[in-house]
Structures are given as C-alpha cells and as structure tokens.
Structure 1
Amino acid sequence: MRRLFRFRRSSIARRLAGFSVIFVTATVVVASLILYLIVAGVVREQIDQRLDTQIDGLRSALTINAAGDVVLSTALDGPPFDRRGSGWYWQVSGEQVHLTSRSLAGEPIASPPRPFDWRHILSGTPQPAERAGLGGETLYLRVAEAAVANKTVEIIVSAPQSALSAPARRALLWLVPAMVLLGIVLVGGIFLQVRYGLRPLRQLTFDVSSISAGNLQRLPDSDVDDLRPVSGEINRLVDQNVQRLAETRLHFANLAHGLKTPVANLLLALNSINDPDNEMRGLVERIDQRIRHHLARARKTAAGGTGVATLLKPRVDDLVLVMSRIYAEKEITVECNIDPELAVACAAEDFDEILGNLIDNAFKWAGQKVGIDARSDGAMIVMTIEDDGPGMAEAAIVEAFRPGVRLDETVPGDGFGLTIASELVQLYGGTITLRNIDPVGLRQSVAMPKAVAS
C-alpha cells in the first residue's frame, strides 16, 4: 500500500514512462512468443510437406510382384532416408508386409495410435500420429493407408523431433536480441515522447513562476489546445488578484481621504497656546505626510501604474545620508556594498519607507557600525542591514512585527515602523526576517522581486 501511495504521488512523466515501459515489455514478450510459434509452425508445415511427399512416393511405388508380394517398383531411399539412425525413416507394414528404409536398418516402428479424423479417413491424406521413440530419439510421425491390389498397408514416415525444434531455437537466438533491441528503441522513444509531450507543462510552470516573480503580467497564449483552458483560468485568477489588489488600495485611499480632512482641521487647531513645544503639530504633520503618501500610491495603482523599477544604490545612499545627519552624535560608520545595476520591482516611495524604517532601526541601536549589502538571488534581490547593537531576544523578534509594539520605551518611536515595512514588502511578494548576529548585533534581511529588464 505504501508503494502504491508513492506511485500515485509520482510525477506525470514517471507515470507515463512507467506504464509505457511495462506495456512495451509485455508487448515485446508476447510478440516474441507469437513469432516463435509462427516460426515453429512454418518449420512443421515444411516437415509435413516433406514427409507427405515421401508418403505419396511410397504409395505410387507400391506394387504386387509375380509371387503376390507387396514390393516397391523403385528405390525410395534417397537422402536423408539412407543414413542409419538419422531419424528420417519410412516403413510400410501390413499383413505379411514389412518394408523399411535403409536408415531404419530393419528395426520396426510400432504402429502408433492416431486421433480419429474423418476428413483424413475419407480423403486418404496423411495425418499426424502420436510421437514415438526409437533408439533413444523422439520421432515425429505422419501416417497414411494405401491399398495395393486387395491388400491394405500402413505407411509410416518419420522425422527426428530435433528437425522441428532446432530451426525454431536457432530462429529464437536471432529473435530474442532483435526484440530486446526493439524494446530498447521503443523505450527510448517513449522517454523522448514524454519529455517532448510534457514540455508545454514545464513552460507553463516557468511562466507561472515568472508571474510570481513579477517578470510577467499574464500567461502567453498556449500553443497546446489542452492547456489553453488552464492558462485561461490562471490568467483569470491573475486578473482577479490584480483587481482585488487595486480595490484594496482604493479602500486604503478612501480611508486616507476620510482621515485627511480631520487631520487638516486638527493641524489648524494647534497653535502656540495649546501646543507650545510643537510636539503635537509635528506628530500631526507626520500623520499628514503618510496619508499623502498612501493617497499618491493608491492613485498610481488605480491609474494602472505597474511594472515599476527602483535602483537600490541611489535610494540607499540618500537614506544613509539622512540617517547620518539625524544620528550625527553617535558617529556611526556605514559600510555599503551595493551593485549600482541592481533594481527592485517596487515604487520608489515604498522602497524608501521600507528601507528607511530598517536603516533607522539599525542607526538607532548600533554601537559604532552599520553594514548594508545587496545581492541577486535568482528572481529576488536580498538586502541586509546589520548593526553591532545589543540585538533582540528571540521571543521579541516575532513581537516586533505587531503594530504598536515598542520593545524599548527608552528610545523614540511609535512601534509601527516594522509593521508598515513588513506589510509593504508582502504587498510586493517579498519577505522580511530578523536574526541575531554572533556575538552581538542584529541582521535585518529583506527579499524583494527583481525588476524586469526593459
């Protein structure tokens, strides 16, 4: 049952190839058996014809001499009936009649039982008899009756059993290698056929992966009729996903629109009297900037702006410059290793928000050094931001992505940075991971789809 379950879970190619190999093997075996039987039948027919010819010759040569005895009018001991012990014998026997071939050397062949066959009886044609043994050899017999004057005699003609089996065995020596070669050729053809036949499925898998990586918008039309419904359904799902994504962002835009007016009113209501330190005004302005940013991104999505590409190095350099000024008193050393050609499939504003939050965290907790690196990994680009700070407790890493969670109240922040960054990365089909560095420090890794080369 476990093997059967594994077979059911195997690939289509293995199923097709496995079934075809079994089918070809069975076909080759059956075909070999049939061909062997055909060869054996042809050899038997030839032997029958030769023995029947000898019987007809004996019938024609039987006559009665002057003394009233049954004799042969001519000698019929031509090869191979002239070689003693050859197995090629003939015998004419009856009442006071016993004539034998030179090869039989006077040894009698016992009259064998014959199957009842009225067609042979009425027509007088020779018929097969049960095999007999003579001199340690099995004989194949043909028997007929003949009337000579008023006497009825039995004519028995034999051939060695090896005369029937040996040619068939020799044919089998050629037949088996030929059929094995044929089977190998057929199996090879089957594997090529399976590989060629499943090529459209492999291409479909590659195209679906390209859609997931952002390298394709929709599946191209399939050249295979059987796959057109599948590609059509996948394209329909892709279109639905794009539409739902646009609707989701539109809802966010509507929410932002709903918040924009109250925030504007709140900003106008704050003054030097009720907010002497401008603390509330700065917070409201920050909220207003985020609302404007999400409104712009929602408008861009609603307008169909897809397929964007953002070069990493210029944006990271700008973010590092800003953070270096904000945290100038910490005198952080930044090591940045980014290929100028690397680009991600992400809007520049979203990229700034994602990397800005992560770089801000690195500067905030770093002791002396921050390292930023980016590399290409297949269809993704992996960016890492490392710092030499105290790191995080393993339990706190999961909690860090929850909105509003602040792991340390002694440093400034609102607890939404990692949450916003994670949501944006997931929106583009990427991932964010946090991991402690040995002996100290934290590594923030971001994987995002690589931009399609134009």
Structure 2
Amino acid sequence: YTFAPPEIDVAVGNELFLDSHTPKFEEDSEFFVYAFTAEFASSRDFEPVRFYIFNNKALFEAERNTFLDTTWQWIFTLCIALLIFIIIGISLVLLPVRKLIDEISQASSGHKRQLESRYPVEFDSLKQSINGLLQTEAAQRARYKNSLGDLAHSLKTPLAVASGTSGLPAEVNEALQQIDRIIKRQLKRASAGKSGWQHAIDILPVLYKLADAMDKVYQDKALTIELEMDEDTQFKGDETDFMELCGNLLDNACKAANNKIIVSASKCAGWLTIKVEDDGPGIPDDKKVLLLERGTRLDTYTEGHGIGMALAADLVSIYEGRMLIEDSSLGGARIVIQFPNHE
C-alpha cells in the first residue's frame, strides 16, 4: 500500500488515534490511524517529526467477531448448564413430594393401607398424621359394620320368635314381615357407603356371577341375558354393594322379561353408565318417578319391585350417582344408573 500523509495537526509530544468516531476520520477507510509528533534536533533547530501507524480494520473486525462469538458461546453454554442444574435441583427437591403424592394415591385406591416409604425429617409429622387418619378411618368402618352386624343379629332372634308364634292374626304376621324388611333395608343402607380409600373392582365378573344365578332362579322362563361391556370396565366402591345393586336390577328385569335381557356398561364424559333393559311390558310413565322415590310395587311386575328398587335407589344415591327409568328398544323398561368416574 502507498499512504499519503493524513491532514492531521498533532502538537509536538501529543498523540492521536483516529477511528470511526473521530470527526476527521474517513468512515470508508480500511485502516485505523495512530498519529504521534516528536521533535528532533537538527543542525539549525528542532524539527517536528510526525509518525503514523496504520492498522487494518479487517483484522480487527475478525478478532472482534471471534471474541464475540466465543463470548456468546460461553454465555449460551453457561445458561444451558444453569438450566439443567435448576431442573435437576428442583426435581431432587420435589422428589419426596411426588413420592408422597403417589403413596397417598395408592392408599386412596385401596392398594396400600398406610404410607411405608422413608421421607425427609420435615415430612415425618405429615406421614404420621396421614397414617393415623387411615388407621382411624379403617377402624371406625370396621367397628361400624360390626355394630350393625350385632344389631341385626340381636333383632333377628326376637323377630323369628315372634313370627314363629302360632295363632297370630294374619295382619300381625304381615306387620312382622314388614318390620323385618325395613330393618334389613335400613341396616344395608347404613352399612353401604362410598369410601375414598377403596379399590376399583372389575364389574364384568360380578355380572357374570349374577347372570348365572338368575339363569338358575328363572330357568323355567329360559331367558337370554346378554352382557355388553369391556373387560376392564371398573366400579370404584364396595363389591358387595355393587352386587346388591345389580342383583336387584337384574332380578326385577328377570321378573318382567319375556325372553331377553341386555346389560351394558360404558364410560363417557366422566361417568360410568350401566343399563339393564328387558323385553317385558315396561313401566308406565306416571309410575316411573314414584317407583324411584318410594319403591312402590307395580302390578306389571307380578312379584313386585318393592324394597329391591328402593334399596337400589338408596345405593346409587350413597355413591353420588343418579338413576333413571326409560323405555327400552326391546319393548320393556330400561334402568339406567350412572356413577361419577373418578380416576
């Protein structure tokens, strides 16, 4: 390169650096300029001598870009490392909480009777409180059912003695039988109950057992009982309660049916829906609400719904469900029961 001396006036002993922010600097120049003026003695006087140093901008920009790229790479790497560290730290801190939640879920579904895992010292009091609650709840339920069983046994003997007494008027025998039915219903209603710490049961095996039992009881009618549902359909509650509920519905359907009964189950929109329908004479519209509310005996069912339908309605209500009576496509009645499907 050939450089012409810049038109820069620098006093003796001073220096000047010219870049893009200096007023007299040419922005399109390819170089930075460093100027310095010194005096040297000559034969006659001191003469000023100006020095100019040129530095290529391209080299500077390349170094600066390399520095910036390296800096951003380290910042990005540091951010990723910090993010990973934070995620791992939060996961380790919350691990005991997740473990506790999982054990509580298992206890609520009936897979565990108490919390057994080891937790940090801070969770010991919470673990002990939850275990105490579970033990107390289980003990109360056991005592409650035992007391009801004792009560039923205590009432059974006097009623049997009274009913077996000869010479009683017919109306007295009928009253004693009514008392016996009422006691059975109320004891069953009191002992049944929805608990948040129960294991979900598969309903298909239960319905198979009930269908086999109904085939034997009503073998003279040669009924066809069809079950339409998935094998993994489950009911969250007591198996005895579910068998009692479906047993009453199937029994009523068998009494009314001429040839065919269909039992179906499905899960939809957060509800477990079970339908029992028959091809019998059906239930009049003006009797449907009355039957659900009071267990009224209907003449269309020769042996009567009676206490069976009332108990079914009670069980559905206890499990926070709902019960409907509709007309079946088979020509008879369709009983629909629905339970909240909490999973």
TM-score w.r.t. the length of structure 1 is 0.49
Distance 1:230 1:125, change over 3 A: farther
Q: What residue identity is the alignment partner of 1:320? A: M
CA pair 276-146 structure 1, distance change in 2 beyond 3 A? closer
Contact 1:425–1:431 (8 Å) recurs in 2 = yes
Aligned partner of residue 137 in structure 1, secondary structure: coil
**What corresponds to 2:260 in structure 1?**
369
SS of match in other structure, 2:114: coil
Are 2:224 and 1:334 aligned?
yes
Tell me what 1:353 maps to: 244
Q: How many residues align?
A: 321
User: 1:279 and 1:185, CA in 2 relative to 1: closer, same or farther beyond 3 A?
Assistant: same
CA contact (8 A) 1:133 1:139 kept: no
In 1, the alpha carbon distance for the partners of 2:143 and 2:224 equals 40
Larger Rg: 1
1:442 to partner: Cα distance: 0.8
Q: Which residue of 2 aligns with 1:442?
A: 334
1:324 to 197, 212, 218: 218
- Cα distance in structure 2, aligned partners of 1:393 and 1:226: 63
Letter aligned with residue 165 of structure 1: E
Change (3 A) 1:426 1:288: closer
Q: Check the 8 A contact 2:199/2:236 in 1, yes or no.
A: yes
Q: CA deviation at 1:371?
A: 3.1
Matches within 5 A, 1:413-424: 413=304, 415-421=306-312, 423-424=314-315
Q: What residue identity is the alignment partner of 1:442?
A: R
TM-superposed deviation, 1:219: 3.6
Structure 2, unmatched stretches of 5+, are 193-197
Q: CA 1:384–1:433 in structure 2 vs 1: closer, same or farther (change >3 Å)?
A: same
Kindly state the Cα deviation for residue 214 of structure 1 after the two structures are TM-superposed. 2.5
Q: 1:274 to 1:180 in 2, by over 3 A?
A: same
Paired with 1:209 and 1:426, the residues of 2 have a C-alpha distance of 25
**AA of the residue aligned to 1:275:** A
Distance 1:274 1:398, change over 3 A: closer
Among 109, 133, 137, the alignment partner of 1:213 is 109
The one of 122, 133, 138 equivalent to 1:242 is 138
CA contact (8 A) 1:142 1:157 kept: yes
Which one is further off, 212-221 or 167-176? 167-176
Residue segments in structure 1 that go unaligned for 5+ positions in a row? 1-82, 85-103, 114-120, 299-305, 450-454
2:60 equivalent to 1:168: no
Is 1:133 matched with 2:133? Answer: no
SS in 1 for 2:60: helix
Matches within 5 A, 1:252-401: 252=148, 256=152, 263=159, 266-267=162-163, 271-275=166-170, 278-287=173-182, 312=206, 315-317=209-211, 319-321=213-215, 323-324=217-218, 328=220, 331=221, 333-337=223-227, 350=241, 352-372=243-263, 385-389=276-280, 401=292
Shift of 1:336: 5.0
Summarize the Cα distance change of 1:313–1:409 in structure 2 as closer, same or farther, 3 Å threshold: closer
- SS at 1:359 equivalent: helix
- 1:382–1:445 contact (8 Å) kept in structure 2: yes
Give the partner amino acid of 2:296. Answer: R
AA paired with 1:216?
A: K
Cα drift, residue 245 of structure 1 = 3.5
**C-alpha contact (below 8 Å) 1:332/1:368 kept by paired residues:** yes
Structure 1 residues 293 and 133 mapped into 2: Cα distance closer, same or farther (>3 Å)? closer
Cα contact 2:34–2:52 (8 A) shared by 1: yes
Residue 195 of structure 2 aligns with which residue? none
Cα deviation, residue 110, structure 1:
1.0
Equivalent residues of 1:336, 1:372 under 8 A apart: yes
Go from structure 1 to structure 2 and tell me whether the alpha carbon gap of 1:136 and 1:282 turns closer, same or farther (over 3 Å shift). closer
For residue 320 of structure 1, report the CA deviation from its aligned partner: 0.7
Q: 1:416 to 1:209 in 2, by over 3 A?
A: farther
User: Which residue number in structure 2 is paired with residue 159 of structure 1?
Assistant: 55
Change (3 A) 1:183 1:342: closer
Deviation at 1:369, TM superposition (A): 1.6
CA contact (8 A) 1:422 1:431 kept: no
Partner Cα distance (1:280, 1:421) in 2: 23
> Where does residue 55 of structure 1 map in the other structure?
none
1:398-413 → structure 2 map (5 Å cutoff): 401-402=292-293, 404-406=294-296, 408=298, 411=301, 413=304
